[in-house]
Amino acid sequence: MIDFLGGFSQFTGIYGFMNSMWGWPVIESLHFIGLCLLLGTVGVFDLRMLGLAKQIPYQYLHKLVPFGVAGYLINVTTGIMFLTTAPDQYVYNPAFQTKMLFMLLAGINMLSFYGFCNQYVQNAGTNPLPTRIKLVAGISLIAWSAIIVCGRLITYFRPPYHWCLWC
């Protein structure tokens, strides 16, 4: 797996770019901008569903979700660039592995929102939402907050210096 990821990075030129003078900090900055887009749209929408700023109609914030999707795509692209450039620093890293678990949780949670809650929320105006939808919003906020924390911790748990349960 490490060889495959490293080979992909070399083949596509990502490795060369990331190891250029400003490659890594530029991509890190874009990664954070993507995160802010996500948190500013999906995160604020979650907070609204939990009861903050009750005067804002849900659909006003839902219209901003495409910007959140753009942020997500920026993050996936830049994240792949980090991962493939230094795969051994990520694949065996407990903070990265935990981050991926929370991303999986956020993804499943998003699917459950669009499967079971979206229609209700779109027609709710500014009315309070039922507990099950608030639960989805709460899980989303927790998952994205954990993703931020784990992302920040990646650099402090670089293998082989830190032992972890599954490494």
Nearest distance from C-beta of residue 72 to another protein, angstroms = 14
Binding status of residue 55 toward another protein by CB under 8 A: yes
Binding status of residue 70 toward another protein by CB under 8 A: no
* CA contacts within 13 A on the Cβ side of 68: 16
Among 17, 32, 112, 142, binds another protein (CB under 8 A): 32
Binding status of residue 146 toward another protein by CB under 8 A: no
How many residues contact another protein, by CB under 8 A? 31
What is the length of the chain?
167
Nearest distance from C-beta of residue 138 to another protein, angstroms = 16
Contacts by residues 60-67 (CB-CB < 8 Å, ≥ 24 positions apart): 62/121, 62/122, 64/40, 65/41, 67/37, 67/40, 67/41
Please state, in angstroms and rounded to a whole number, the distance separating the CA atoms of residues 68 and 113: 15
Nearest distance from C-beta of residue 66 to another protein, angstroms = 10
Among 6, 40, 138, 159, binds another protein (CB under 8 A): 40
Binding status of residue 125 toward another protein by CB under 8 A: no
Q: Which is nearer to another protein, 2 or 53 (CB)?
A: 53
Among 41, 75, 85, 140, binds another protein (CB under 8 A): 41
Among 63, 69, 128, 162, binds another protein (CB under 8 A): 63
Binding status of residue 25 toward another protein by CB under 8 A: yes
At residue 94, the 3 state secondary structure works out as: helix
Q: Read out DSSP for 11-67?
A: HHTHHHHHTSTTHHHHHHHHHHHHHHHHIIIIIHHHHHHTTSSTTS-HHHHHTTHHH
Please state, in angstroms and rounded to a whole number, the distance separating the CA atoms of residues 125 and 120: 10
Residues in contact with another protein by CB under 8 A are 22, 24-26, 28-29, 32-33, 35-41, 43-44, 47, 52-57, 60-61, 63-64, 67, 126, 148
